[in-house]
């Protein structure tokens, strides 16, 4: 259903949050699926399956609260080093998610997007991604962006290659290159930079995620693994974010 500002205002009041202090863009590093499964005697892929529930709950909560964009780190460019069987299961799980959750994406009026290199992804995944992007193109709600086969450094390399082509053919002048020029050549062109980066499983690193875009993002970490992450944890992160003063290199007011 479309975003309901009245309902959102009531929810925010109940959660002791203010719409003015909410992040416009939340990026999440969904870590700890395998560790969660291993600690319970399950195969690693079961952790990824259970993590889908956290994905679903988090997306719905962000949509209801009026968060402009949610970006989820689904598969990094480094994850190809994992065992082939696990990668195969991850690809199947991703394609299954794209098919099964499409109706929910449309019901919640979400705008769907994906960043990352397409190489290595199956034709089935690319077909389902393209279909969901097209069907949700005119939606007005939260933008749901999946980072798949994504790495911040490789994104910068790709951006610089695109800029180099334009420099060589004369459609871009060296003197005109600014930070905005680089941003316009990234996978995230047209998207706002993340205000808040959430990481689960207690790890304290960026893991090659949105390196350019998150330069001034606030960082929030929970020791809970991703399959344990619930809306209450998201609310805790939002309260913590709302209490921070973002100075962007300047002085306190």
Which residues are identified as catalytic?
A: 31, 79
3-class secondary structure, 5 = helix
The Cα 96–Cα 117 span in angstroms is 20
88 Cβ contact list (under 8 Å, min separation 6): none
The Cα 145–Cα 115 span in angstroms is 7
- State the alpha helices, DSSP H only, in the chain: 5-14, 33-39, 44-65, 84-100, 102-107, 123-135, 152-169, 179-184, 231-242
- State the alpha helices, DSSP H only, in 192-243: 231-242
């Amino acid at each position: 259903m479309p975003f309901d500002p009245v309902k959102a205002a009531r929810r925010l009041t109940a959660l002791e949050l203010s719409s003015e202090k909410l992040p416009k863009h939340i990026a999440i590093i969904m870590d700890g699926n395998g560790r969660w499964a291993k600690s319970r005697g399950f195969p690693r892929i079961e952790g990824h399956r259970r993590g889908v529930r956290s994905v679903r709950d988090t997306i719905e909560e962000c949509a209801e609260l009026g968060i402009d964009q949610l970006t989820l780190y689904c598969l990094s460019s480094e994850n190809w080093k994992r065992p082939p069987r696990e990668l195969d299961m991850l690809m199947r799980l991703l394609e299954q998610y794209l098919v099964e959750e499409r109706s929910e994406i449309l019901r919640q009026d979400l705008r769907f997007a994906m960043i990352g290199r397409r190489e290595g992804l199956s034709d089935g995944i690319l077909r389902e991604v393209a279909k969901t992007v097209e069907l949700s193109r005119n939606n007005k709600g939260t933008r749901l962006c999946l980072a798949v086969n994504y790495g911040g450094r490789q994104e910068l390399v790709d951006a610089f290659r695109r800029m180099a082509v334009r420099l060589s053919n004369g459609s871009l002048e060296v003197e005109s290159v600014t930070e905005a020029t680089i941003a316009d050549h990234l996978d995230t062109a047209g998207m706002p930079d993340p205000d808040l980066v959430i990481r689960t499983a207690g790890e304290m690193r960026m893991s090659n995620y949105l390196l350019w875009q998150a330069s001034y993002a606030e960082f929030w970490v929970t020791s809970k693994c991703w399959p344990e992450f619930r809306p209450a944890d998201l609310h805790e992160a939002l309260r913590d974010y709302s209490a921070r003063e973002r100075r962007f290199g300047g002085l306190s007011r």
